[in-house]
Structures are given as C-alpha cells and as structure tokens.
C-alpha cells in the first residue's frame, strides 16, 4: 500500500470506500521479557474488512483467535503494526469513543442483582454523554431499535434471569447494537447453542451485516458455519495467519487438515461455498 | 421502558428526606428528661431568633447538648455506613459484603485499644487512634488486594478476610494484657456508641460524608455496568480500574470515619442497601442517595429505641440494630430463596 | 432534600460554648460561685459553694456518701448501687458505664462523683460540657490507707469535712486495733480469687493485696499485673493455706466450698480438702468503708486465736455469719494445728 498523503485524507478515503477495519501486520506476544522467550506470539496478521461484511476468524483452539480479538477491540496495543477502525488506530482511542465504534459481545456473565431486559439494553448507551448519565428519549428509542433488530421486542419487560439461553444471547447482542458500533466483534458466540441456535444466530448476524451496515467479526472454530455465512475468512494456526480470503479460497483440504489435525474432505457446493465433511473410515 | 431520571431520584430523596425529618422530630421528643414538643420547638426557635438567653438551661442542655448532637451523629454514621455498604457490594461483586469485611473496623478497633493502653484518660485520642488504625488497614489491604497493579475483587476480599483475622488475634492478645479498667471503654466501642461527641466538630465530618458519598455517586452509572460484568463494562467504555479505586477509597474512608466516632455498629451497612433495593431497584443512581438516607433513618430510630426502651439504662445502638436487623435479614434471605 | 435537612441539623448543633445562653452556672439559679479545685485526674472542677445535691456514678462512691451521713443529699445513683440497701430506692441514672445524661440533668446535681476504676472519661467529659461539675477520684489505690485519704479528700470537697475526718479516724482506729492484735502472728498465705474460671486473682499493686495484709494474710500471687490470670498448675504449686473467694451471699453456708469441691483441679488443693475456703462479699473488692468490715471478718477467720473474746458489737446481719464461721473453724482446726 502506498502512503497517499496525510492521515486525514487517508481516513476520508477509507470511510468513503467503506473500509471499516484495517489490520496491518499486527502482532502480539505474551510474557515477552528480555531474558526468556515469549510464551505465545501472534502475528503478523493483515487483513481488511468493509461495511456489510461478515468476517470469520477461524482456527483451532490456542491458535491466537482470542488474542487477535483483544487487539481488535483495542484492549491491548499490538506489539507492532496497526489496527484501524474507520481510519483511527484503535488502541489510541479514548475508552468511550472506542465503545462508540466497537462493540464486543461476550458470553454472558452472571448478574448479581435483578435487571430488566430494557434496563440491560439501555446500558449500551453508556458511551454517549457524560459519565454519570441519565438516559434520554433518544437513548430509549435506540435501545428499542436494537431490541427490534434482534427480534427481541417482546422480551422488553422480562427479567434477565428468567430468559432462556438463546433469548439472553439476543439481548446481549441488542446491548451491543445499542452502542451503534461500526464494528461488532463476537467471541465464539455459538459455543453453548445447539445446531438450530447456531444457525439462527449466524443468520441474524448475516442480516445485520447486510441491512444495517455493521461490520461483523466472528471468532469461531466452526468450519461449516464460517463457510456458509462469512464473506471473508482469516485462518489462524498457532499464532500465525496462514491465509486470508473468501471461503472458497481458504478452504483447501491439505491446509485445513494440517491446521485442524483431522481427516476431512472439502466439497464445493453449487452456491460457491465449500462444505467440510469428516473423512470417515471406509 | 421507564428509565431512571434525575427527577425520579429527586422525588425518592425528597420522600426519604421527609421521613428522616419525621423520625428526627420523634427522636427529639423521646428521652429520659420530660420535655414537651412545645418546649422543644420553643427552644429551637429561640435560638434561631437570637433569644438564646431565654432558654432554660435544662432545655438547652437536653436539646442542644444531648439529643441533637446524638441525632446528628446518628445521621452521619447511618449515612456513611450504608453508602459504604452499597459501594462495597458493587466493588466486591458480593451481596453479602458489609463495610467491615475489608478490615476497616478491625483496624480501627486495634487503634482504639492501643490508645486505651497508652493514654486511657485523654478524651478524643481513642477516636483519632481508631481512624489512624482504619487508614493503615485500608492502605495495607489495598496493597495486598491488588493483582497486576489493579484492584481485583476476589483478591481484595481475601486480603480483607486475612486482615480481619490477623487484627482480631492481635486485639485479643492485647486485651488479655490490658488491665480491666481500660477494657471497659473498649467494650463500649466495640458495641457501637453514639453518646460520645466526636473529637472534631460535626461540620467537618459532614463535609467528609458529602465528599465521600459524592465521589461514590459520580461512579454510579459505572457501577451499574460493572455489576453486569467487569469485562463487559470495559467494553462499554467504563474505566473499571479507576472506578474501583475511587469506590474502594471513598467507601473505606466513610467506614473509617463512622467507626472512629461511634464504634462498630453492625447490620446497617449490610441491610440498608438491600432494603433500598427492594423498594427502589438496583440502579445505583438512586441506590446511593437512598441508602444514605435510609441508613440515617435506621440509626436514628435504633438509637431512639436504645435510649428509651429500658430507660434510664441505655442499650448500645449496635445491639438494637442487631435485634432489628437480624430478623429482617433472615426474612430477606428467605424471600430471595423463594 | 436530605442534604438540606442534614445541613440544617449540623447548623443547629452548637460547636462552641460561646453560643450557649449566658445564665449557665450549674443548674441552681443564682448559686454563688464556688472554688475551682483539681480532682484526682488533674482536671479543674468548678465546685459550687454549697453542695446540696449529689449524684454518684459508682457503688463505692454511694457507700461513702452514706457513710458520711449525707444520704439526704444523694439525689441519684446507678442501677448497681446496692450498699446499703437503701441506695436501691434512690432515683437511678442508669448503668455505671453508660449513665443516661438526661436523667442526670433532670436531677439538677451540684456535683457528680465518678471514679476512674469504674466510669469512663467520656461520661465526665459530656457532663462537663453540660455545665455539670464532675469530680473524678482515682480509683486505683494501692493501699487501704490511700483509700482512706481519698475518702477524706472527697468528704472535704462535698462540704462534709467534719464527718469525713470522723469517718476516716474511726476506720483508721479499727485498722490499728486489728494490727495490734495480729502483730505477732505469722501471715497466712492466701489465694484471693476474683473469678474462678478463668482464674483471676489480684496483683501486688491492687489495694486488695494491701487489705489482705491488714487482715494478717499475704496474697501468694506476686504479680505486677492488676488482675493476673493464673493457671491451675500455678495454684497447685503455690498451695495456699486459704482460698478467699468473692461471692454474693444469696446462697447459704458453704456454697462456694461445695462448688470448688466439685471442680477438677480445685478439689485436690489442700485448702479445699480441708475446707479452708473463705467467702467474702463484694465489699472486699470495693474501695469503700465496707472494706474495713471485710478485713476484720477475714482476720477473724484466718487468725481466730487472736480473737479469744468478743470485743466488738456486730450488726445483726453478721450474727448468722458468726455461726457459720465457727463451724468452718472447727472443721479446719485439726489440720491447722498440723501446719
């Protein structure tokens, strides 16, 4: 990439072009000291993501997916390289500004005190306004919108601890959407769901990306879901970024067998998306 | 969808404030010395219009030197402990947290007992020593409770438990060494006592209360988020480490303040936040001021009972709050389980 | 709203005496100003010229007031003041440690008497702040004579100098007479038990140890602590001749002896086996005139041979005691000769 002019014009350029996320040679190392070798290194990783895109960060366990996610969320600064959202380096962003751009959807944690669904979703508006803030009408509208986007409108007045697993996940997603982020990050969101739940979630994410201009990044190890729903795949293995591209480009049998250490077959379906099956003993 | 508004907070505070006022009036009326409401009003009015000389000395004594200071101290202590309790429950992510769980009262008790051993007859030193003990414990537990340079709730709780047991052991050792006479003051201090006037004027103490409670209040939006998960709060833009530090320091200092001037009055810091949650919900933007006012109301009531039920004998306030508090707490617990 | 109420209250709370109304000298209207004296703690007390109403905050002080013949001036005492019995019917101001300030104010005392051994300094402070004079005596006497001095001083203070001198002189005379009788006797070795379990005794610096000496008995505990805690082994090693134990006389006869005989460790002590357990009343640990009575009684139990004839009149309440004393004496006599 050639550096064309000042950072400002670059920022304008990327926004116009719809480029949401740019990761350039980002790397990280855990516990790197002068004396000992670091326990784990990630990178360098490079890829880009546009609006309306759903990107899957794919890899087996301990491949560095969560580390990459942490870097993308701006929670830690990469050792080298840059990560930019809407043209701005994420780790430089002020906490609240970052929360306005990036929403990270985690697995649920336990609530200490009872809370209603709308209260929970309304908390997503925190990054806007002062620290001690009282929600405005606009906030309520946006929170309502977010609930509608995940199809959880009817859950509005329910208590959080009375929701089912799937319902809770939708509400958590709604809170993230209430942040009005450019970038939506999800860390293994399908872990505790059954196959129906998994599909429903990915379909919803797909719709959100298509209709609402979010850029969605999903960290996962589910090969077929990633293939079916994502526009782009970043394949990680033991901290190295092996390949970036469309599912068809990335799903190479030998490559996947090496990465996932399992006997598999890759079938190409008429839709142009690959499918992975286990090569059983014949 | 009815979000919390400043107006709603104000209404709730006004209602609680009115209740506090009523309780104060009733408490002013009750006591061993027979004085009617009319006489009390006359005493109050005469002072305000500058006719202090016309107040009979007994009335002056009873209203301004005995009852009002005691009520004022009760409000201070009740508000401090309840606010601190609400803060600690959020900081430690534990509904069973009370202001003493991190060792503040144990440190204050140690300071008190040392001062009794060293200078038993000097008034005011016990309070000062108690505060120093509390402050030292706050600092020690902070350093013990850190992990990676930042406050970690689980580690902090553990550090507090260690502090409490260690300090208790030291206190018990000292108690066996001290002559019996000096221990008498200690027994009172441990049970909680509102009869002793604070060593420094109430105005300063109230200022500290407002600063401390105010600091915690500024983090109430943050606390609401932290209670749904620390990481989640970070992702929403909350400066979690800073909030935890502010709450820790403010709540600990409020506790140290209350305990230094009145000993360790129990149950208030634990119960009042829960009671207020039952009535007004868990939103800290209303919970903090509600707890402060609720705590004040509870202590003034408990103290009034303590000094009138078996007059002229005075029961310790702490005994009263325990007698009332324990059954209420059991009831609350059963309700949750159900 | 709450903050406003709070601010209002704090404004209402006076912060200095300067805001108090002018007419304040004590609670007696137009009382002539008295002198300023220094109490046993070195605090300056503004004594009124005339002391007509006294409030006492400790049983020993109440007893002294009665002994001085000033019971008519006693306006109030504590719940625990029970000697003499008449003190129980005086108006009470609450507990010794936590008296009700309003009750004290309501009684309009000219002076409140307190002692360091029982009352808290906070109480004295609060009363002073209310404009009520408080005289605190130092209750940490080391000697009985020191106690007598203190009684004399207090009597002088509350305008009963003559009565005080008489009282002290009378008590002194009794002590001297006792001393004369016991001069040539060897001291009996006793263990004074304040509390059996945990075992608390008295140290050398407490007036009780001195009182024991006046009764011809030496405490076997040589501790500098005031109320040392002893282990049973230590007592077995010391093997005191007598055990002197404080108890109330609600039960008859040798209740304490029976009790000790049932306790392990105690029942193997020589003194318990031979029945040389002496009960004393609460007066023995109270720094008051009643202490001299107890000293005399104890002397008779420990050195009966020095009291071959009845020389003093006793109150009827002590008659019953004499019977029991005699019974215990004969039980222990045979062993005593063996010593």
CB distance B65–C130 less than 8 Å? yes
Q: State pLDDT tens for residues A243-262.
A: 999 999 999 888 888 888 88
Q: State pLDDT tens for residues C284-330.
A: 888 889 899 989 988 988 888 888 765 444 444 455 555 555 555 55
Predicted local confidence at residue B179, as pLDDT: 65
Q: Is residue B65 part of a domain?
A: no
Domains and CATH numbers, chain C: 33-165 (3.40.50.1980), 185-338 (3.40.50.1980)
| Tokens found for residue A230 | 């994502």
Whether B89 and B303 have beta carbons less than 8 Å apart is answered as no
Class of residue A60 by CB neighbours under 10 A (exposed 0-12, middle 13-18, buried 19+)? middle
Q: Is the pLDDT of residue C14 over 50?
A: no
Q: Is residue B53 part of a domain?
A: no
Q: Is residue B44 part of a domain?
A: no
Query: Is pLDDT larger for residue A105 or for residue C247?
Result: A105
Average pLDDT in the C48-54 region? Answer: 88
Q: Percent of chain C scored above 70 by pLDDT?
A: 80
Q: State pLDDT tens for residues B98-131.
A: 999 999 999 999 998 888 888 766 777 888 899 9
**CB–CB contacts below 8 A, A to B:** 80
Q: Tokens 């990327």 label which residue?
A: A14
Q: What are the residue ranges spanned by the domains of chain A?
A: 1-86+183-251, 105-181
Tell me the C-alpha distance between C219 and C192, whole Å: 7
**Mean pLDDT across chain A, nearest whole number?**
85
C30 shares contact with chain B (CB less than 8 Å): no
Chains that touch C (3 or more CB pairs under 8 A): B
Tell me the C-alpha distance between C87 and C57, whole Å: 12
Question: Which residues have C-beta within 8 Å of that of residue A77, sequence separation ≥ 6?
Answer: A91
Among A45, A99, A108, A48, CA closest to A71: A45
Chain A residues in contact with chain B using a Cβ-Cβ cutoff of 8 Å:
73, 75, 95-100, 102-104, 106, 109, 111-115, 118-120, 122-124, 126-127, 131-135, 139-140, 143-144, 156, 179
Among A151, A159, A158, A241, CA closest to A203: A151
Strand C217-219 vs strand C242-246: parallel, antiparallel, or unpaired? unpaired
Question: Which residues have C-beta within 8 Å of that of residue B236, sequence separation ≥ 6?
Answer: A99, A123, A124, A126, A127, A179, B225
Q: Is residue B156 part of a domain?
A: yes
Strand A183-187 vs strand A215-220: parallel, antiparallel, or unpaired? parallel
Predicted local confidence at residue C31, as pLDDT: 45
Q: Which range, A4-13, B35-44, C167-176, C256-265, has the best average confidence (pLDDT)?
A: C167-176
Say how many residues make up chain B: 338
Predicted local confidence at residue A14, as pLDDT: 45
Whether C127 and C112 have beta carbons less than 8 Å apart is answered as yes
Predicted local confidence at residue A35, as pLDDT: 66
Q: Is residue B30 part of a domain?
A: no
Q: Is residue B121 part of a domain?
A: yes
Query: Is pLDDT larger for residue A225 or for residue B51?
Result: A225
CB distance C9–B201 less than 8 Å? no
**CATH ID of A1-86+183-251, from 2.170.130.10, 3.40.50.300, 3.30.365.10, 3.20.20.100:** 3.40.50.300
Q: State pLDDT tens for residues B73-97.
A: 999 999 999 999 999 999 998 888 9
Predicted local confidence at residue A37, as pLDDT: 67
Say how many residues make up chain A: 282
Tell me the C-alpha distance between C211 and B105, whole Å: 42
Say how many residues make up chain C: 339
Q: Tokens 């670059």 label which residue?
A: A10
- Give A166-223 as a DSSP string: HHHHHHHHHHHHHT--SEEEEESTTTT--HHHHHHHHHHHHHHHHHH--EEEEEE--H
Containing domain of residue B199, as a range? 73-337
Q: What is the ipTM score, two decimals?
A: 0.84
Q: State pLDDT tens for residues A137-159.
A: 999 999 999 999 998 999 999 99
Predicted local confidence at residue A148, as pLDDT: 92
The CATH code of the domain that includes B191 is 1.10.3470.10
In chain B, the number of structural domains is 1
Closest Cα of chain B to A85: distance in Å?
A: 15
Average pLDDT in the C264-279 region? Answer: 85
Q: Which range, A260-264, B129-133, C120-124, C196-200, has the best average confidence (pLDDT)?
A: B129-133
Question: Which residues have C-beta within 8 Å of that of residue B294, sequence separation ≥ 6?
Answer: B16, B78, B82, B272, B275, B276
Q: Which of C13, C22, C98 sits opposite B314 (nearest CB)?
A: C98
Residues 214-253 of C with CB under 8 A from B: 225-227, 229
Strand C111-115 vs strand B150-151: parallel, antiparallel, or unpaired? unpaired
Query: How far, in whole angstroms, is CA B91 from its chain's centroid?
Result: 17
Cα–Cα distance list, B113 to B160, B185, B266, B315, C121 (Å): 20, 9, 19, 22, 15
Whether A65 and A56 have beta carbons less than 8 Å apart is answered as no
Tell me the C-alpha distance between C202 and B182, whole Å: 16
B232 shares contact with chain C (CB less than 8 Å): no
- Residue C143: φ, ψ to 5°: -130, 160
CB distance A140–B3 less than 8 Å? yes
Average pLDDT in the C162-177 region? Answer: 92
Residues with pLDDT less than 50, chain B = 338
Predicted local confidence at residue C339, as pLDDT: 38
Whether B192 and B265 have beta carbons less than 8 Å apart is answered as yes
Confidence band, pLDDT 50/70/90 cuts, at residue A1: very low
Tell me the C-alpha distance between B300 and B72, whole Å: 9
């Amino acid at each position: 990439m050639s550096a064309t002019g000042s950072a400002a014009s670059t920022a304008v350029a990327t926004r116009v072009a719809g480029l949401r996320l740019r990761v350039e040679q980002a790397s990280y190392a855990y516990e790197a000291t002068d004396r000992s070798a670091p326990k784990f290194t990630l990178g360098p990783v490079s890829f880009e993501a546009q609006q309306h895109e759903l990107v899957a960060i794919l890899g087996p366990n301990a491949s560095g997916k969560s580390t990459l996610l942490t870097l993308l969320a701006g929670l830690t600064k990469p050792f080298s390289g840059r990560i930019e959202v809407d043209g701005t380096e994420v780790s430089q962003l002020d906490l609240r500004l970052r929360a306005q751009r990036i929403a990270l959807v985690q697995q649920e944690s336990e609530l200490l005190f009872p809370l209603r669904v709308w209260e929970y979703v309304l908390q997503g508006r925190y990054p806007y306004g002062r620290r001690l803030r009282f929600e405005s009408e606009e906030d309520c509208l946006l929170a309502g919108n977010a609930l509608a986007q995940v199809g959880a409108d009817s859950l509005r007045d329910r208590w959080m601890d009375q929701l089912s697993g799937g319902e809770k996940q939708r509400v958590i997603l709604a809170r993230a959407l209430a942040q009005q982020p450019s970038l939506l990050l999800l860390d293994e969101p399908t872990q505790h769901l059954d196959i129906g739940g998994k599909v429903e979630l990915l379909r919803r994410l797909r719709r959100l990306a298509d209709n609402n201009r979010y850029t969605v990044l999903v960290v996962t190890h589910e090969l077929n879901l990633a293939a079916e729903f994502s526009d782009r795949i970043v394949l990680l293995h033991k901290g190295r970024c092996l390949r970036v591209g469309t599912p068809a480009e990335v799903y190479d049998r030998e490559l996947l067998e090496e990465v996932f250490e399992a006997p598999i077959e890759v079938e190409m379906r008429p839709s142009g998306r690959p499918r992975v099956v286990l090569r059983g003993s014949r | 969808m009815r979000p919390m508004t400043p107006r709603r907070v104000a209404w709730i505070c006004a209602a609680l404030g009115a209740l506090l006022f009523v309780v104060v009036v009733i408490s002013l009326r009750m006591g061993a010395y027979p004085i009617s409401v009319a006489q009390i009003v006359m005493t109050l009015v005469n002072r305000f219009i500058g006719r202090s000389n016309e107040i009979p000395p007994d009335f002056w004594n009873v209203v301004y030197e005995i009852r009002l200071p005691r009520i004022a101290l009760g409000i201070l202590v009740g508000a401090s402990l309840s606010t601190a309790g609400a803060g600690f429950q959020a900081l430690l992510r534990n509904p069973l947290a009370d202001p003493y769980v991190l060792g503040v009262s144990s440190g204050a008790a140690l300071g008190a007992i040392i001062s009794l051993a060293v200078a038993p007859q000097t008034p005011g030193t016990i309070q000062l020593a108690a505060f120093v003990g509390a402050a030292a414990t706050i600092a020690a537990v902070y350093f013990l409770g850190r992990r990676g340079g930042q406050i970690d709730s689980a580690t902090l709780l553990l550090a507090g438990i260690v502090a409490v047991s260690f300090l208790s052991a030291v206190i018990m050792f000292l108690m066996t060494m001290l002559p019996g006479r000096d221990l008498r003051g200690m027994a009172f201090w441990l049970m909680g006592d509102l009869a002793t006037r604070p060593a420094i004027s109430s105005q300063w103490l109230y200022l500290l209360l407002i600063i401390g409670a105010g600091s915690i209040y500024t983090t109430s939006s943050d606390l609401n988020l932290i209670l749904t998960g620390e990481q989640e709060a970070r992702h929403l833009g909350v400066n979690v480490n800073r909030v935890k530090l502010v709450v820790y320091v403010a709540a600990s200092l409020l506790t140290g303040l209350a305990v230094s001037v009145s000993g360790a009055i129990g149950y208030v810091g634990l119960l009042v936040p829960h009671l207020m949650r039952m009535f007004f919900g868990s939103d800290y933007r209303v919970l903090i001021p509600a707890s402060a006012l609720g705590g004040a109301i509870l202590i003034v009531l408990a103290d009034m009972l303590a000094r009138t039920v078996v007059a002229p004998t005075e029961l310790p306030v702490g005994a009263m709050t325990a007698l009332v508090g324990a059954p209420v707490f059991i009831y609350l617990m059963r309700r949750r389980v159900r | 709203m709450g903050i406003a109420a709070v601010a209002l209250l704090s404004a209402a709370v006076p912060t200095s005496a300067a805001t108090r109304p002018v007419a304040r000298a004590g609670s007696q209207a137009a009382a002539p100003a008295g002198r300023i004296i220094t109490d046993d703690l070195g605090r300056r007390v503004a004594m009124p010229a005339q002391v007509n109403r006294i409030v006492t905050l400790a049983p020993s002080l109440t007893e002294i007031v009665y002994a001085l013949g000033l019971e008519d001036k006693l306006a109030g005492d504590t719940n625990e003041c029970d000697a003499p019995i008449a003190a129980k019917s005086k108006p009470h101001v609450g507990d010794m440690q936590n008296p009700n300030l309003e009750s004290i104010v309501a009684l309009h005392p000219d002076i409140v008497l307190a002692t360091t051994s029982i009352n808290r300094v906070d109480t004295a402070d609060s009363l002073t702040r209310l404009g009520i004079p408080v005289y605190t005596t130092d209750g940490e006497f080391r000697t009985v004579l020191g106690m007598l001095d203190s009684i004399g001083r207090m009597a002088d203070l509350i305008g009963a100098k003559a009565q005080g001198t008489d009282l002290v002189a009378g008590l002194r005379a009794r002590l001297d007479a006792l001393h004369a009788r016991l001069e040539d006797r060897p001291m009996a070795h006793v263990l004074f038990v304040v509390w059996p379990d945990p075992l608390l005794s008295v140290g050398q610096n407490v007036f009780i140890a001195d009182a024991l000496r006046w009764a011809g008995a030496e405490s076997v505990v040589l501790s500098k602590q005031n109320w040392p805690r002893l282990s049973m082994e230590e007592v077995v090693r010391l093997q005191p001749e007598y055990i002197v134990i404080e108890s109330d006389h609600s039960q008859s006869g040798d209740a304490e002896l029976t009790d000790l005989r049932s306790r392990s460790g105690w029942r193997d002590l020589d003194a318990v086996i031979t029945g040389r357990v002496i009960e004393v009343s609460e007066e023995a640990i109270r720094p008051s005139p009643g202490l001299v009575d107890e000293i005399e009684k104890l002397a008779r139990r420990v050195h009966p041979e020095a009291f071959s004839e009845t020389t003093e009149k006793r109150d009827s309440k002590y008659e019953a005691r004499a019977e029991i004393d005699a019974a215990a004496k004969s039980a222990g006599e045979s062993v005593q000769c063996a010593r």
